[in-house]
Structure 1
Amino acid sequence: MPYTISLLDSDLSVEDFKAKWAKHVIKIQYGLDISDEDAKNAVNIFKELKAGEYKNDKSNLNEANKEDTKKPFTPIQGFSLNNKTYQDEAIERLKKLYEMIKSEFDNGKTELEILKQLAKLNLKV
């Protein structure tokens, strides 16, 4: 019988079941094998977190939060030394090439004739 089913069918108190279940989940999720006492501590920490009563032992974290609330937000203004806008030269050349090929094709030339004409012109796209 798998461990989860045997754990569900066991005759444990609610707190012991929570500790065993936490130990089992931590072993499955993270591959850690912890003691029963650590599992009970984990359950207690989760209870405190859920109730919003968990107190962080790091006092410098609270001080950093206080400093952040005192400073007003100042956005960063970025600028570019090169004020040249983007040029679509390659796209424009491709559009002209497409228009030329389309007009030749509409005039009744085959693909092979159009390719020969392009080869004679030696276009660099």
Structure 2
Amino acid sequence: MKIGQAARESGVTIRMLRYYEDQGLIHPRRSDARYREYAQADVELARRVQALSRAGLTLAVIAAILPCVASLRADAAKPCPNLLSVLRRKQQELEEQIALFELQRAAIADYLLAQSEDGAALSKSSAADFR
């Protein structure tokens, strides 16, 4: 299939498909006229790369673990020495980000509570200043 159809089927933009190829993540074959020709396996691989990217993994990490991931299902992953350590590190990073967001949310909630207790609730104009 041509790149436009592959983009539609995979949900990945044409530009991103080309980028994935440049990064060595997918390998569509070339026609005699040098057009990219995508197989269904290329489309599935592009979906997998995009899903891993949305999970917060960089393309460099994805390239390293892609051979270990047979599908998007966790029970279909092949054992790979570095896969678990990469995923554990990413999980720890996410936990740290969540903790930071919770602290920020609590600080904002405390500030808003203090303002309402003082009878000085934020006006619409001052609330707009925070946007």
Alignment TM class, shorter chain as reference = under 0.3
Taking structure 1 as the reference length, what is the TM-score of the superposition? 0.27
- The structure having more radius of gyration, on CA atoms, is 1
Q: Which has the higher contact order (CA 8 A, sep 6+)?
A: 2
TM-score, length-scaled by structure 2: 0.26
